[in-house]
Amino acid sequence: MTADIIIYHNPECGTSRNALALIRNAGIEPHVVEYLKTPPSRALLEQLIERADMNPRDLLREKGTPYAELGLDDADLGDDALVDAMMAHPVLINRPLVITSRGVKLCRPSEAVLDILPARQLGAFAKEDGEQVVDADGNRVQA
């Protein structure tokens, strides 16, 4: 299936790998953007945050980033300062961020991608840790 889907992906992240695999399990080969190598422009990042109905703080990643060293936990920091930090340190952008015709979503947990995929799952899917999220008929397994 051809669909215009973009995933801002980090191949070192299990959640990101699982979301990518779920997209492919729907028979779709997305445009994969390794955002640490090719970060979005500031204008695009701000647009994605808005389209996902988020604010910049919602997209900030704390774990394994310079979040604490940069003092990003300061509640007085405005949106511009948070976006500035993400532009200077793309690792602060949480992932995977997925764009489809049905919306933009931060897919944490990875099965959140199912909410915006334009196609059904083609078969069973289990995450890397073995958790079954799609059954053999392509239906989401409810936890």
List residues with catalytic annotation: 13
Which among 94, 99, 95, 102 is positioned nearest to 118, based on CA atoms? 102
Helices (H), the chain: 14-25, 42-51, 56-59, 79-88
Q: Identify whether 96 is preceded by a cis peptide bond (ω within 30 of 0).
A: yes
Residue entry with tokens 């053999």: 136
